[in-house]
Amino acid sequence: MTTPQSTAPRAKGGGLKIIRYRGVIKRFGSFTALNGVDLDVHAGEVVCLIGPSGSGKSTLLRCTNGLETIDGGDIEFEGALLPRDERVLRAMRARMGMVFQSFELFPHLTAQQNVAEGPRTVQKVSLAEANRRATAMLAKVGLADKAVNYPSALSGGQQQRVAIARALAMEPDVMLFDEPTSALDPETIGEVLNVMKALAEEGMTMVVVTHEMTFARRVGDWVAVFDTGRIVEQGPPSQIFDAPTTERTRDFLSHLGWSG
């Protein structure tokens, strides 16, 4: 099985691969969600995973930090295979920030407490340090004035920005975004994408499952197109959006009304 690979050089990271997926297989009962996925994520890159719903992109993201265990192949993070051992896996997970489609802020904590929770409980930093980080991260996502608000008092876009701040407070090496704007009102999508774009410009390594083709094209360094558990094509956005080499990619983009 060969995947059409781009011959274009990867612009960033100097060849340093942060995440390597090799022949990743994931099954849910008799359903094969991932059927041999090969993909590299280089340091400082924004890799966008696109494709129809149920094609396996979110599953790959969830396998990356071990929320789902894989049934075949392997995933390397910073040169080491994802461990089976819970304790080691947790330490690795703490270096990957994750942002969910449905935000999943902790509703019993204020924005500030949400962001401070990870450093406090997982990294065992002092309360002062956790609060310092929380304040800094909330400011970074433009929500310094919402620190004392509970999630229920924030808009969807604001909640998702707090969720990004919560992940950043762990000072991760890579950020995983699972359809971060799919649950948002159209008018708040932009504020979240802007925060993500700013992060990308700072050099954060990001893996983004998204239906926002404009974001994938403008901000993505590398785009992988998924279909039925496989990557049907991957390459720089210019290739994927302007000169797709497979029928399946053209098909998918045309269904989205993408005219190239």
Partner 1 sequence: MTLDWSVVWQHREALVAATGTTILLTIATMAIAVPCGLIVAALRLYAWAPVRTLATAYVELFRNLPLILVVFWAFYVLPIWTGLGLSPLATGLAALALNVTAYNAETFRAGLNSIRRGQVEAAMALGMSRAQALRRVIVPQALRRVLPVLASTWVSLFKDTSLVSVIAVTELAYVAMQVRAQTFRVLEMLTAMAAIYWLLGYPQAKLVDWIQRKYSVTE
Helices (H), the chain: 57-64, 86-93, 111-121, 127-140, 156-168, 186-201, 213-218, 237, 247-255
94 binds partner 1 (CB under 8 A): yes
Q: How far is the CB of 100 from partner 1 (least distance, A)?
A: 6
Element (H, E) at 36: strand 31-42
CA atoms of 176 and 97, how far apart (whole Å): 6
Angstrom distances, CA of residue 151 to CA of 111, 155, 172: 7, 8, 23
102 binds partner 1 (CB under 8 A): yes
Cβ-based nearer residue to partner 1, 108 or 255: 108
Tokens 């994938």 -> residue: 216
Cβ-based nearer residue to partner 1, 22 or 95: 95
Q: How far is the CB of 250 from partner 1 (least distance, A)?
A: 35
Stretch that binds partner 1, among 52-60, 72-80, 98-106, 137-145 (CB under 8 A): 98-106
The widest CA-to-CA distance across the chain, in whole angstroms, is 55
Tokens 């053209």 -> residue: 250
Angstrom distances, CA of residue 111 to CA of 69, 134, 164, 215: 31, 9, 11, 26
28 binds partner 1 (CB under 8 A): no
User: How many C-beta atoms lie closer than 10 Å to residue 139's C-beta?
Assistant: 13
226 binds partner 1 (CB under 8 A): no
148 binds partner 1 (CB under 8 A): no
88 binds partner 1 (CB under 8 A): no
Q: Read out DSSP for 153-199? A: GS-HHHHHHHHHHHHHTT--SEEEEESTTTTS-HHHHHHHHHHHHHH
Contact 50, 56 (CB under 8 A): no
Cβ-based nearer residue to partner 1, 120 or 248: 120
Stretch that binds partner 1, among 16-24, 86-94, 187-195, 212-220 (CB under 8 A): 86-94
125 binds partner 1 (CB under 8 A): no
171 binds partner 1 (CB under 8 A): no
Query: Binder to partner 1 among 8, 16, 28, 106 (CB under 8 A)?
Result: 106
Q: How far is the CB of 228 from partner 1 (least distance, A)?
A: 25
- The two three-digit tokens of residue 161, written as one number: 């920005």
Query: Binder to partner 1 among 8, 11, 16, 91 (CB under 8 A)?
Result: 91
141 binds partner 1 (CB under 8 A): no
209 binds partner 1 (CB under 8 A): no
Residues near partner 1 (CB under 8 A) are: 65, 67, 86, 90-91, 93-94, 96-98, 100, 102, 104-108, 117-118, 121-123, 151-152, 163, 166-167, 170
